[in-house]
Structure 1
Amino acid sequence: MLPEQAAPEAPAVDAGTGLADDGALPPAASDGAALDDAAAAAIARLYGEPLLRMPNDLYIPPDALEIFLDAFEGPLDLLLYLIRKQNFNILDIPMAQVTLQYLVYVEQIRKSNLELAAEYLLMAAMLIEIKSRMLLPKRENDLVEDVGDPRAELVRRLLEYEQIKIAALNLGAMPQEGRDFLRPSLPVEQSLEPVWPQVDPHDLQRAWLDVLRRARLTQHHRIGRQELSVREHMSAILRTLQSQRFVEFGELFAGQETVPIVVVHFVALLELAKETLVEITQAEPFAPIYVRLAYSPA
């Protein structure tokens, strides 16, 4: 058996100061206290690390510390804001107060952004012109021809802009896809085995009729010569009418198979009517047409 070894003695620590006899902090306590002191003395944090002193080459642009409490979309928006904020009557605008407040705002934005101030300066010139026209005394000619209130055109533009702005706010409050809600989507895994569509008898019938239609367009038509006699057909019609008193017009063409034969048979009927050998009669309009032998006294 090995002889029992004595455990190393821990350094004595003062209960009041927390220091060891040699004046050093305990290992664990010294690290935590150092981190706390660094965090307390840090003036800022850069990427999570405490920054103990201000860098010498630090540059802060002047625009970085500017705070805009109200953002206006144009001179009309600013002018409408000034009127509504002080509860002025838009139909009776106090031009002196509104123009003064407007010029103060324009002077502020002119110092920082000259391009943005150009549009506002144009409206400021318009306000000053209206104010000047209201201060000028009226001459006798002006009393005869009253030109109206110089503020009328400005009031009309303000009212139209306010209506459009309210309509835009109402449209913006409506739910929009991608901003207020998202359409649910579920990915569907496609099977690797091909799925063939089912063909019903009607589809097969339509395909077959389409094949027949194309076959008729490409088939060859042969024209043959056939000798037909009008006299023979005239004799056949007379024989048919001798056995019957009246024959309906369609029955005369019974047994005629081809179109040329039907045409010749009809020409023969017209020749008999021309020679007054047959009569074609009809009882009333749209009634059936009948053919009979012409009446000849004995």
Structure 2
Amino acid sequence: MAEPTDSLMPGQVDAVALARLYGEPLFALPQDLYIPPDALQVFLEAFEGPLDLLLYLIRKQNFNILDIPMLDVTRQYLGYVDEIRSRNLELAAEYLLMAAMLIEIKSRMLLPARRQEGQEEAEDPRAELVRRLLEYEQIKLAAHQLGALPQYGRDFLPARVHIEQGSRTRFPDVSVQELQQALQAVLRRARLVQHHRITREELSVREYMSHVLKALQGRRFVLLEDLFEPARGATVLVVTFIALLELAKETLVEITQAEAFAPIYVRLAYTPV
């Protein structure tokens, strides 16, 4: 049998791989491995802008912020700007503007001071920069204090306690108005599914004509309303009215009225002997 290769030796199989190259484990770094200088970068300080960098340089060296040594601060500041220009030109643009302002302040300090009318002393060219630095430091300190406050989701979470319900069931209280609303809702749903049945009721007009004649026999006058029976329904009323019209048409009954809007009477037609 063939001898096992070096990659399958027990000592290398049990070892921990340093990395993987195309899916294969590497147990030792290649001797000819080249790492470019720009591959690894360590940032010890991160600044949020030109004012943050200036404040860092001043506080780190314990300079008096009211009497800034512009030469030292400008030299250190330009060194940092040159460093970031080689890596991020867009980020360096904001810092270059502050560098130009520092150079301008330094050049104004080299010139003779000029007093303005109404002022006893000439204005310090560093005054505006000092004011901006002090305001920025106050805001940064306030932001740090706000960030140190406990925050929901980062420093604390709401306490949750599971309480088991007892065996006794407690039903909610129901008012009379809620019961009425529930009943109305049920009635509305019932109307949506309501069925209508239409049935045919056969009624004979001739039969009701005989009923009317029997009611008029032996009576001189009968009120029209007395010939109808409302309790038997609308269909019976209609058929009775049609029967009455048929009797009047065949001159078997007479329908009379003394005057307008007076009661209407019905009687049997007079038949001479």
Normalising by structure 1, report the TM-score. 0.47
Rounded to whole Å, the distance in 1 between the matches of 2:39 and 2:80 is: 20
Aligned counterpart, 1:169: 144
Q: Aligned letter for 1:170? A: Q
Q: Deviations over 1:230-263 (max 9, x none)?
A: xxxxxxxxxxxxxxxxxxxxxxxxxxxxxxxxxx
Deviation at 1:184, TM superposition (A): 3.1
| SS state at 1:49 partner | strand
Q: Deviations over 1:12-32 (max 9, x none)?
A: xxxxxxxxxxxx9xxxxxx9x
Pairing 1:44–2:15 present: no
Pairing 1:125–2:100 present: yes
Rounded to whole Å, the distance in 1 between the matches of 2:127 and 2:83 is: 28
Pairing 1:67–2:42 present: yes
Q: Aligned letter for 1:94? A: P
1:268-279 equivalences under 5 Å are: none
Q: 1:63 to 1:184 in 2, by over 3 A?
A: farther
Deviation at 1:35, TM superposition (A): 3.4
CA RMSD of aligned residues (A): 4.1
> How many residue pairs end up in the alignment?
169
Rounded to whole Å, the distance in 2 between the matches of 1:131 and 1:39 is: 66
Q: Aligned letter for 1:107? A: D
Aligned counterpart, 2:65: 90
Q: Is the 8 A contact 1:74 1:120 kept in 2?
A: yes
Q: 1:136 to 1:177 in 2, by over 3 A?
A: same
Q: Is the 8 A contact 1:75 1:120 kept in 2?
A: yes
Q: Aligned letter for 1:68? A: F
Q: Aligned letter for 2:93? A: A
| SS state at 2:83 partner | helix
Rounded to whole Å, the distance in 2 between the matches of 1:39 and 1:119 is: 54
1:1-298 equivalences under 5 Å are: 34-37=9-12, 44-46=18-20, 49-52=25-28, 54=30, 63-138=38-113, 147-185=122-160, 197-199=172-174, 203-204=175-176
Rounded to whole Å, the distance in 2 between the matches of 1:155 and 1:207 is: 75
Q: 1:53 to 1:99 in 2, by over 3 A?
A: closer
Q: 1:166 to 1:53 in 2, by over 3 A?
A: closer
Rounded to whole Å, the distance in 2 between the matches of 1:186 and 1:55 is: 60
| SS state at 1:112 partner | coil
Q: Is the 8 A contact 2:150 2:156 kept in 1?
A: yes
Deviation at 1:49, TM superposition (A): 3.2
Deviation at 1:179, TM superposition (A): 1.2
Deviation at 1:122, TM superposition (A): 0.5
Q: Aligned letter for 1:198? A: D
Q: Deviations over 1:132-181 (max 9, x none)?
A: 00001246x76986540010010000001111111111111111111112
Rounded to whole Å, the distance in 2 between the matches of 1:37 and 1:205 is: 82
Q: Is the 8 A contact 1:106 1:117 kept in 2?
A: yes
Q: 1:89 to 1:189 in 2, by over 3 A?
A: same
Q: Deviations over 1:18-76 (max 9, x none)?
A: xxxxxx9xxxxxx9x93335677x883227933445499x9967654011000001100
Rounded to whole Å, the distance in 1 between the matches of 2:38 and 2:26 is: 26
Q: 1:114 to 1:188 in 2, by over 3 A?
A: farther
Give aligned-pair identity as a percent: 63
Normalising by structure 2, report the TM-score. 0.51
Rounded to whole Å, the distance in 1 between the matches of 2:45 and 2:28 is: 36
Rounded to whole Å, the distance in 2 between the matches of 1:207 and 1:43 is: 74
Q: Is the 8 A contact 2:12 2:27 kept in 1?
A: no
Unmatched 5+ stretches in structure 1: 1-23, 25-30, 209-298
Rounded to whole Å, the distance in 2 between the matches of 1:180 and 1:116 is: 33
Deviation at 1:205, TM superposition (A): 7.8
Q: Deviations over 1:93-134 (max 9, x none)?
A: 000110000000000011100010011000000000000000
| SS state at 2:26 partner | strand
Rounded to whole Å, the distance in 2 between the matches of 1:205 and 1:52 is: 83
Rounded to whole Å, the distance in 2 between the matches of 1:94 and 1:54 is: 51
